[in-house]
Chains A and B, each alone.
Chain A
């Protein structure tokens, strides 16, 4: 890539990453807190105990603050699709448009209607209708996430579509293959459960603050107990779906799996690093050791990826050489081919698209047909045609490796934290364990770090692709000026910092007021 294009791609990616990460600060709490509020209100309706109404109102206020700051920040991502990523937007065609449109309609009608009943409807609608509205808000925020994640999963595993050479757009030919792609199912469950776990840690952490201040003890203990059970179940399911995600990545994005583990040379019965430090300066195919230090579980990666202790797992070098298997976008198991060959076939596909257009302008049907056949035969390698060097197909390994391991370690930590929170809140000894209350409070920040790490693994790990194997970032980017993208990047940075400071400030004020003010 030339320098100007590199700068444009880098600034466009940085801007998108900033916006997506800021959006993801607001979203996960809403996903989980909505469900916990609905559970609390169910207890209130069943018992008639006003304590639970007060508790619901407190957490609802926190939900409202987060919802207000988070609402519509995702729209900025859509602005960026049109401006910075116009080739990509056109190329994905209606596949991205359909889920996003459903999300928009759902979010608008369900959330806007029932969130009003949830906040304004106390004493105006029946208890049961209010409860139904609260559950529908919880459901709709999670359903909104479903459609976005379906679209994202398609980028990781583009299934159920046909590339139309006349329009240069992908057309959906199988809606269900897009919605029920195994990558989409895993991505949805894993992401939503991560939101549930984060929200549970948030509730446990805020409750710990009340216990440390010796305020609202009954409220804090009951909130902790409920959040700990909810979070513990979510965190265990999160680990299970994480395993499912790893299986999908192993099959469909073997390069991402190799980057997640810093695995350059694969083999049978491959270990998994529990903790490790990568050797700086390590390059693909240089034959040097990848790890400076690691504590690993023997045969762990083979088992994690394929459920077989002795299964073959390909490393980065093996994938470059073509020594691997993968599941293609039609669901068929394929033998990998050397990266240089994929690059050649990709160039054939791109040239065929160009030839098809030239033939179309000359109204030469025979030449069009000939070009179309070549394009279809090589379309699975289309994106590789843009690469100049096989190493360009390797994602940034250190960032992917470290964020993956931080996410896994924190996931394990949350299971222990929530288990102990539940156990000690059940026995009533939680408020005496001040070290643990401090730990719980600080764990709120860790939950956000883990959540962001998850997204970095998913998105950085699939580089250089916007659409796996079909469109790299260099081809997806628009022909705009890097300087313009740079300017908007700093505008966003300022806007998000102001938003975050305002949100945290308002949220802290509301927390300090406590549930008493919810009467």
Chain B
């Protein structure tokens, strides 16, 4: 099992080392994911319902929202 894991590890390691254009692409992926998860998600995309603790509170909030919107 350990031998297999080692082989997989070296397979990936050698693969990454021998990359040319792939290194640029990984950089693109890393930058993109960093912006998404460390800037956009925490600063701008908080889940609206996460401020409620329980599913019951979430249900209540949504029911209030969708039953009141007919009055707008």
Contacts and interface: CB of A to CB of B under 8 A. Distances in A.
A75 interface: yes
Contact of B33 (A61, A72, A120, A502): A72
Nearest to A478: B48
B39 to A, nearest CB: 9
A139 to B, nearest CB: 21
Interface in A41-86: 61, 64-65, 68-69, 71-73, 75-76, 79-80, 82-83, 86
B26 A68 contact: yes
Contact of A167 (B21, B45, B50, B59): B59
Contacts of A162: none
Q: Secondary structure at chain B's binding surface: helix, strand, loop or mixed? A: helix
Contact of B44 (A65, A68, A83, A479): A83
Nearest to B12: A116
Contacts of A488: 40, 44-45
Give the interface centre of A73, A90, A166 by most chain B CB atoms within 10 Å.
A90
B67 A353 contact: yes
Contacts of B12: 116, 120
B55 A167 contact: yes
Interface string B11-33: 11011101001101110110011
A484 interface: yes
Nearest to B47: A82
Interface residues of B, number: 38
A209 interface: no
Contacts of B11: 116, 120-121, 124
Given A61-B21, A71-B29, A90-B62, A347 B70 contact: yes
Given A72-B33, A124-B11, A83 B25 contact: no
Nearest to B50: A82
A69 B32 CA distance: 9
A169 interface: yes
Contacts of A499: 28, 32
Interface size class of A (residues with CB under 8 A): 35 or more
Interface in A482-519: 484, 487-488, 491, 495, 499, 502, 506, 510
Nearest to B62: A90
Interface string A350-364: 110110010000000
Nearest to A64: B25
A475 B25 contact: no
A73 to B, nearest CB: 8
B65 to A, nearest CB: 5
Given A68-B25, A386-B70, A499-B32, A87 B40 contact: no
A385 B69 CA distance: 10
* A-B residue pairs, 5 tightest by C-beta: A120-B15, A86-B48, A68-B25, A82-B47, A79-B45
22 contacts: A61-B21, A64-B22, A71-B29, A76-B40, A79-B45, A82-B46, A87-B65, A90-B59, A116-B15, A119-B22, A120-B18, A121-B11, A167-B59, A169-B59, A347-B70, A474-B69, A475-B65, A478-B48, A488-B44, A506-B21, A506-B25, A510-B21
Given A75-B36, A488-B40, 12 more contacts: A2-B72, A64-B25, A82-B46, A83-B48, A169-B59, A353-B63, A484-B44, A488-B45, A499-B28, A502-B28, A506-B25, A510-B21
